Amino acid sequence: MTAEYNTNIKMLGPAKVTSSLPLWRHTENRDTVTMHLDPEMIGEPPNGTIPLEIEIAGPRSKIFFDPSKTKCAIVTCGGLCPGINDVIRAIVMEAYHNYKVPSVLGIRYGLQGFIPKYGHPVVELTPENVSHIHEFGGTILAASRGPQPPEEIVDAMERMNISILFMIGGDGTMKAAQAIEREVDKRGNKMAIIGIPKTIDNDIHFVSKTFGFETAVEKAAEAIRCAHTEALGAPNGIGMVKLMGRESGFIAAHATIALKEVNFVLIPESKFQLHGPNGFLTHLEKRLEMRGHAVIVVAEGAGQELFERKGADLSGNIILGDVCSVLRQEIDQHFKKKNIDITLKFIDPSYIIRSVPANSNDRVYCGFLGQHAVHAGMAGKTSMLVSMLQDRYVYLPLSLATEKRKTLNINSNYWGSVLASTGQPSVMLSTES
Amino acid sequence: MTAEYNTNIKMLGPAKVTSSLPLWRHTENRDTVTMHLDPEMIGEPPNGTIPLEIEIAGPRSKIFFDPSKTKCAIVTCGGLCPGINDVIRAIVMEAYHNYKVPSVLGIRYGLQGFIPKYGHPVVELTPENVSHIHEFGGTILAASRGPQPPEEIVDAMERMNISILFMIGGDGTMKAAQAIEREVDKRGNKMAIIGIPKTIDNDIHFVSKTFGFETAVEKAAEAIRCAHTEALGAPNGIGMVKLMGRESGFIAAHATIALKEVNFVLIPESKFQLHGPNGFLTHLEKRLEMRGHAVIVVAEGAGQELFERKGADLSGNIILGDVCSVLRQEIDQHFKKKNIDITLKFIDPSYIIRSVPANSNDRVYCGFLGQHAVHAGMAGKTSMLVSMLQDRYVYLPLSLATEKRKTLNINSNYWGSVLASTGQPSVMLSTES
Amino acid sequence: MTAEYNTNIKMLGPAKVTSSLPLWRHTENRDTVTMHLDPEMIGEPPNGTIPLEIEIAGPRSKIFFDPSKTKCAIVTCGGLCPGINDVIRAIVMEAYHNYKVPSVLGIRYGLQGFIPKYGHPVVELTPENVSHIHEFGGTILAASRGPQPPEEIVDAMERMNISILFMIGGDGTMKAAQAIEREVDKRGNKMAIIGIPKTIDNDIHFVSKTFGFETAVEKAAEAIRCAHTEALGAPNGIGMVKLMGRESGFIAAHATIALKEVNFVLIPESKFQLHGPNGFLTHLEKRLEMRGHAVIVVAEGAGQELFERKGADLSGNIILGDVCSVLRQEIDQHFKKKNIDITLKFIDPSYIIRSVPANSNDRVYCGFLGQHAVHAGMAGKTSMLVSMLQDRYVYLPLSLATEKRKTLNINSNYWGSVLASTGQPSVMLSTES
Amino acid sequence: MTAEYNTNIKMLGPAKVTSSLPLWRHTENRDTVTMHLDPEMIGEPPNGTIPLEIEIAGPRSKIFFDPSKTKCAIVTCGGLCPGINDVIRAIVMEAYHNYKVPSVLGIRYGLQGFIPKYGHPVVELTPENVSHIHEFGGTILAASRGPQPPEEIVDAMERMNISILFMIGGDGTMKAAQAIEREVDKRGNKMAIIGIPKTIDNDIHFVSKTFGFETAVEKAAEAIRCAHTEALGAPNGIGMVKLMGRESGFIAAHATIALKEVNFVLIPESKFQLHGPNGFLTHLEKRLEMRGHAVIVVAEGAGQELFERKGADLSGNIILGDVCSVLRQEIDQHFKKKNIDITLKFIDPSYIIRSVPANSNDRVYCGFLGQHAVHAGMAGKTSMLVSMLQDRYVYLPLSLATEKRKTLNINSNYWGSVLASTGQPSVMLSTES
């Protein structure tokens, strides 16, 4: 089974330059460790574990690039997520202070920043101008959605003479990184492409937890607390919170067990029906009857089985049906029909969650991701991403991470705990409806 | 001019019972102070000041009710606001511990709680069961919107043998309090009706600042900060935040000068046009051209001149046109027409703002409001509310506060500072559009 | 009685320059208002009110200085306090943007910054370099304690050609401002000296509430909450929190009623004995007997009657006896003697409170203080400070504010509420000990 | 080498009762996984990895205790730490709701609660009375330090008929758990002893990260930020923060890289000298010379080489020399001797850090620790603790965890990153001093 999982990291060439890093324990290229992965994490059936040899992240004693002639670039893509500035800062600090790289460029507005027609200027990133950016949310480079032609991107990289490109982004960005690397390879350029996975949904394979996730859960829990207070504050009060999670319900589930006041959590992985004796509305009605209020958390990608498919957006993401609008309408109608007065308060904290600065633990995490990305790039590794697996920073081929999306296993103890916390039925589907 | 402002507090009868309060300085009924009010606060033209004799709040040495035979009740009405539980707690603690009143009832779900057909049970409030409620947002009594027949309410008060009713609510609730007091008066009942004004909009006359306002501004500023981060994070990024403020823009204005990152703040008091050479869209376009991003704060009642009037809701509030939807559509169309790509992120933090616990200063404020409400009720005052004016707690007739709504004077230095902070034009109206 | 209170503001000369300020309602020099002050606020016996004519702050249509030739300077003195950077920012923004003043200098490290021997460089403050400083606590100019010779300061001001000096500091700084102004006056210089009172103790006469006070109370309440949790967590747990308050217990008292978990609050205004049947230790023992835990809040200047006087520090402040050390020792001995095991946890949050950024309400307050300071200086006023009284921004002579310190009236309803919240005896003094 | 690490979990007897748990995937007793542990985590030389078979935590389909006849007890020992109430809540909820155990007792004030002479009452813990406790810091059971005789504890357990004892505490508590289990075993009692490791220092072997650690780091970072602000605010300002960490510097190190404003971090694992050309004071002086301010973070157990040993406290912990007092004195003397004025601000946030509620991620962690503890106890496991290793919840023998303390490897990349962040020398020892 492990044959399918090629964990070898591609190299630009032999690493012959001696690193000047004042570190006592260089981690060498062949310093891999066997990890027995939980199959759920990589989308396999949940039997046994999958042993893989995985390369440990860290500085190497021999590196590929001569630091004094190396120019780095950083680009940030997609939606905001707590911690991006921390990663940028760490890359700049590591490159300048430890490797003495003379120049790190910031590409503005995502991949658009490479394309001349947009006219976005490039910025020089220095230890001085990044030293306080971690205090602020967002990305100082700004971002944009959607792909740009790899050829034009590599043209721009050639013009700017970039040796290492650090790409901070989600699934789509990691795919774009692969396309760029293929173009680089085709041209025979010695340019390293290093991915740092960023997705607030935490849905990337072979990544235990994406950066910013914990901060996001904290803010999501605050919003749910507010929904709970509002639900308690009115007769038959319903508090509904929409959370991120296009294809996986990690934030919704984690915030639910963190806060413990949620009665229904709807996630993409667990289909449900609205009507019928075992439908969501029936259970909501029972809950209101018993307790007089209810809190509902909805991942934005939940209930897509209730919609027709709608095509894709600029970033190639499928356009989701607006599940919360449907839920609000259906709830409204259901209780009107039954002559029950309800009060529904809806909270969409999405941009509040995405734009806050990272908490301390995410900051530490982002710092190491940035540093290990630099170690990898300087060593001549490419077409790879930096990840944390089983509490260790590791290097993985981009191909492994982009194959499919990570989803939440609804047959796990984890989800069982979520259900135990909400008290909702494990299945809200009935045959007759 | 002051003739119109009757500041005398109505009494149920002579106060003959000696208060047992262990306080060194009883404030007597005739302890009024002359205040030279800013005419803006009470909706008069901004010339000079208006001197009024106003009764200072506080315990009286002689009270009307015999504490051992007094039963109090508390009801909370309308939307949530930080600090309601603090007021409830303070009333209960003051009544029990200082006056030794044997019973304080909590009426559930607003005025519905008086009406038998709703079947809401009444709860007994004790020092034990309210001692920690200030740690939580919302109202432990829950609330509802809309009036109920004063006759039925007074019937219920008679059945429950209530001597003092504390009503925590907004403009509508203060009017309901007047109606209830008229019914009480008609029946010759000795029941005191004491209002504690609660409105997150801060739009009540003769009240410097309603409780919860500072906490609300704090949370509003957090949401605006997020909008700013989002706006900075995308090409031509626009962050739009909808804030409370049906007829007055106090929260929007205050949060704007607190945060200093807002470029346009739209409030009900300052009409604007969308189109034309001096319209909002023109100025927004200029701002994006110059700086590449913009932050817009919108009070929910802004721009109502763009809508037809729509009738009123249960609480008698006029149904507002959804200004943010119109703005989002118009912005979208405007820039599409001009072939300019923008990214608009919309944040509606309403329920997050309303449902948080009060900050320390609001807590202290709520505590005194509650205590002074009890002092007033025990002294036999009625048809009045507790307010803070010019840094002093005072008693005012309900009639004064309900005459009209407080609005923000757009010819004031205050509003001038807001405009200076945003850089927006003082007027966005043109003749030709 | 009001004869003693001279509220006239000194002018450098006639204001003949027309202000370019785009404000609709210039407030003129003679725009005073009668305020009926609570005598407690100004250290008078608490009978009736004291009516004073007080000048309202605001921009004047005619100003004294020609903006294009005006150079301002800002100096910050004494300990940190939330909001200093907000005041600095507001002064810079107002001077540059509204008055078009070409230069605002920042004096580094308090009054030391004027004295050549210290060698501190002066910094140019611009809208660009102050635009984000309000996000950070502290003062970007840094501060120092203690006076410097007024002659040398005015020498430096002459060398730098300063027209208006803004001094942000406490009681000592306001006195230094008076000395500097006297020196300026002696030399016949046209230099305005404008004070902005800063003291975390809130103990300045004729100032309702100094900036940063609310933020400080919020943080103080957090520390008390922790002390409460610690006290609950151990057998006979005692949580003790030391708060600011050298001569007045405002923070201690306000945080106490905000949090409601304090059992003893000790402030300078209320003397107490440790021993004897009505001493503090006796009451503490009773409390532990009854409830098994206790929370004690101590203002740093409390209990000074237990010490010999110790001289003064650099800033001229009397060196206080370390009341918390004495309390901890005495508590320890008392319970050891009685063979009662206790666990005392001591929290000194002083620098955590002083160094946080201001909350939103303090930010708005600081913004207006800064703006009104600029209005005053440009109008040619001097030897004055900006204050808020009865909800209005006003100008007051420095002499009024420096006469004595504001203290908390322990015969007030306010202090009565504090005692009601703690349950401590109003007096802990006995004749025999 | 792995022979020394016995990972087998002791069982009270065969598990024959069928669990009623409505979970889809019971994890069976033999469901172990091979983990390749980093030797540093368990105090071995840092070469290669150590493969161990470790039992995965989770519910078992067959359990030992008949739930309807099972009585559980919870005791919390030692100092406070964020998240204790979350663990208590999770145990109670899991025992009641999933296993239908009829009674969970709370032992008050740590092990004292078992000993009759202290007279502490036992409390019944129910889903109702624990449902909100996670909102508050501390422990609702309270705690105490120090051991109590195992015989008396087991006597009490027999009297109360306790089947499963959950012990939440640190190293000392885990050793006490072993002693209790030996006594239970000697008497042939069928009582399970389950440890849940709690130590804010994060210094327990075979535990990746103890609960509350992330929350503690967050609060520690806030205190350091304040120290930085204070340091910047005065000429030659020094901000010093004392953090927890008796034998290991994890919190100090983690907070340092989270905040990035620290210039010196002193931890127990890295000895240092004060004087001499490479001593701490020399480096501090250089730093002040260059930058005018410095931030120092000190773990409480740092620099113990500067003291004589002092015996042990009630809990058996060695009494530490007060390193911060020594540092403050020595710094004071050093700069006085050199005639350099400095301003040192000292912050000890210890009890503020310990007593706050857990953040969301720690809450989720605590929830699972509590649930897995119940699964283990019900299954008849004993003399074990619940831990998280490599992102998995596992069961480990108490003996493994108590052998020695986990310390921070100062030859690791982790510590290298800390040094890179502070800029301090890796060694501050010189031969001549």
Q: CB burial class (10 A; 0-12, 13-18, 19+) of residue D201?
A: buried
Mean pLDDT of A228-255: 96
* CB-based contact B106:B84 (threshold 8 Å): no
Residue C36's DSSP bridge partners are: C51
Residue-range domain boundaries for chain D: 2-210+358-402, 214-353+411-422
Q: Which residues of B122-150 are buried (b: 16+ CB within 10 A; e: fewer)?
A: ebebeeeebeebbebbbbbbbbbbbbbeb
Q: What is the pLDDT of residues B52-71, one digit of tens each?
A: 999 999 999 899 999 999 99
| pLDDT-derived band at A431, boundaries 50, 70, 90 | low
Of B222, B232, B351, the CB nearest to A227: B351
User: Using CA atoms, how far apart are residues A145 and A76, in angstroms rounded to an integer?
Assistant: 10
How many other CB atoms are there within 10 angstroms of residue B100's CB atom?
A: 12
Nearest to A385, CA basis, from A201, A192, A251: A192
Count how many pairs of residues, chain C against chain D, have C-beta atoms within 8 Å. 99
Q: What is the pLDDT of residues D245-271, one digit of tens each?
A: 999 999 999 999 999 999 999 999 999
- Widest Cα–Cα separation across chain B: 78
Mean pLDDT of chain B: 93
The amino acid at C227 = A
Residue C139, sorted as left (phi over 0), alpha (psi -120 to 50) or beta, turns out to be beta
For the domain with range C2-210+356-402, which CATH number is right: 2.60.40.2550, 3.10.560.10, 2.40.30.10, 3.40.50.450? 3.40.50.450
- With a CB cutoff of 8 Å and minimum separation 6, the contacts of B337 are none
Res. A309: pLDDT tops 50: yes
CB contact C237 to D (< 8 Å): yes
CB contact B235 to A (< 8 Å): yes
**Closest chain D residue to the Cα of A425, Cα to Cα:** D22
Q: What is the pLDDT of residues B377-431, one digit of tens each?
A: 999 999 999 999 999 999 999 999 888 888 998 888 899 999 999 999 999 987 6
CB contact D314 to C (< 8 Å): no
Res. A135: pLDDT tops 60: yes
The per-residue pLDDT for D31 is 81
CB contact A416 to D (< 8 Å): yes
For C213-354+411-422, CATH number? Answer: 3.40.50.460
**Closest chain A residue to the Cα of B350, Cα to Cα:** A347
Q: Which residues of B48-67 are buried (b: 16+ CB within 10 A; e: fewer)?
A: ebbebebbbbbbbeebbbeb
**Which of helix, strand or coil describes residue D51?**
strand
The per-residue pLDDT for B30 is 61
Name the H helices within C188-261.
213-232, 250-259
For the domain with range B213-355+411-422, which CATH number is right: 3.40.50.460, 3.30.390.50, 1.10.3720.10, 3.40.190.10? 3.40.50.460
Given a cut of 50, the residues of chain D with pLDDT beneath it are 1-2, 432-433
How many other CB atoms are there within 10 angstroms of residue A130's CB atom?
A: 22
CB contact B163 to A (< 8 Å): no
User: Using CA atoms, how far apart are residues B91 and B388, in angstroms rounded to an integer?
Assistant: 17
Of A118, A233, A352, the CB nearest to B349: A352
Length of chain D: 433
The per-residue pLDDT for A220 is 98
CB contact D35 to C (< 8 Å): no
Of D136, D230, D345, the CB nearest to C229: D136
> Between C360-378 and B250-259, two packed helices, what is the crossing angle to 10 degrees?
70
Looking at per-residue confidence, does B334 or B35 come out higher?
B334
CB contact under 8 A, A348 and B348: yes
Helix, strand and coil content of chain A, in percent to the nearest 5, comes to: 40, 20, 40
The per-residue pLDDT for A313 is 74
CB contact under 8 A, B352 and A223: yes
| pLDDT-derived band at B2, boundaries 50, 70, 90 | very low
User: Using CA atoms, how far apart are residues C303 and C307, in angstroms rounded to an integer?
Assistant: 8
The amino acid at C17 = V
Of A136, A222, A235, the CB nearest to B109: A235
Nearest to B326, CA basis, from B270, B263, B274, B272: B274
DSSP state string for B97-112: IIT--SEEEEESSGGG
**Closest chain C residue to the Cα of D119, Cα to Cα:** C235
For C87, phi then psi, to 5°, come to: -65, -45
Count how many pairs of residues, chain A against chain B, have C-beta atoms within 8 Å. 99
Mean pLDDT of chain A: 93
Percent share of chain A, pLDDT over 90 = 80
Res. A270: pLDDT tops 50: yes
CB contact under 8 A, C142 and D348: no
Mean pLDDT of A350-376: 97
CB contact C316 to D (< 8 Å): no
CB contact B347 to A (< 8 Å): yes
Arch. (CATH architecture) of B2-210+358-402: 3-Layer(aba) Sandwich (3.40)
Contacts of D217 in chain A (CB under 8 A): 360-361, 364
For C265, phi then psi, to 5°, come to: -125, 125
How many other CB atoms are there within 10 angstroms of residue B314's CB atom?
A: 10
DSSP state string for A57-75: PS--SEESS-GGG-EEEEE
Q: Which residues of B376-394 are buried (b: 16+ CB within 10 A; e: fewer)?
A: bbbbbbbbbbbbbbbbbbb
Question: How high is the ipTM of this complex?
Answer: 0.94
Percent share of chain C, pLDDT over 70 = 95
Contacts of C144 in chain D (CB under 8 A): 234-235
Domain spanning A216-355+411-422: CATH 3.40.50.460: yes
**Which subunits count as partners of chain A given 3+ CB pairs below 8 Å?**
B, D
**Closest chain D residue to the Cα of C141, Cα to Cα:** D233
Res. A432: pLDDT tops 80: no
CB contact under 8 A, C24 and B371: no
User: Using CA atoms, how far apart are residues D92 and D374, in angstroms rounded to an integer?
Assistant: 9
User: Using CA atoms, how far apart are residues A202 and A199, in angstroms rounded to an integer?
Assistant: 6
User: Using CA atoms, how far apart are residues B347 and B25, in angstroms rounded to an integer?
Assistant: 50
Q: CB burial class (10 A; 0-12, 13-18, 19+) of residue B325?
A: exposed
A201 noted as active-site residue: yes
CB contact C2 to B (< 8 Å): no
Whole-number CA gyration radius for chain B = 23
Active site residues per annotation of B: 201
For D111, phi then psi, to 5°, come to: -65, -20
User: Using CA atoms, how far apart are residues D396 and D98, in angstroms rounded to an integer?
Assistant: 23
- Whole-Å CA distances, B20 to B98, C330, C424: 8, 36, 18
Res. C105: pLDDT tops 60: yes
Nearest to A354, CA basis, from B215, B225, B341: B225
Chain C contacts in chain B segment 97-116 (CB below 8 A): 97-98
Whole-number CA gyration radius for chain D = 23
CB contact C427 to B (< 8 Å): no
Written as six digits, the tokens of B41 are 């606060």
**Closest chain B residue to the Cα of A144, Cα to Cα:** B234
CA B379 centroid distance within chain: 26
Name the H helices within A84-136.
84-93, 127-130
HEC profile for B350-363? HHHHHCCCCCHHHH
Nearest to C416, CA basis, from C207, C270, C287: C270
Contacts of B416 in chain C (CB under 8 A): 22-24
Place of tokens 């050549």: C116
Of C59, C257, C389, the CB nearest to B364: C257
Mean pLDDT of B333-356: 97
How many other CB atoms are there within 10 angstroms of residue B404's CB atom?
A: 13
For A296, phi then psi, to 5°, come to: -120, 130
The per-residue pLDDT for B1 is 41
For D214-353+411-422, CATH number? Answer: 3.40.50.460
Nearest-5° Cα angle at B132, B131 to B134: 105
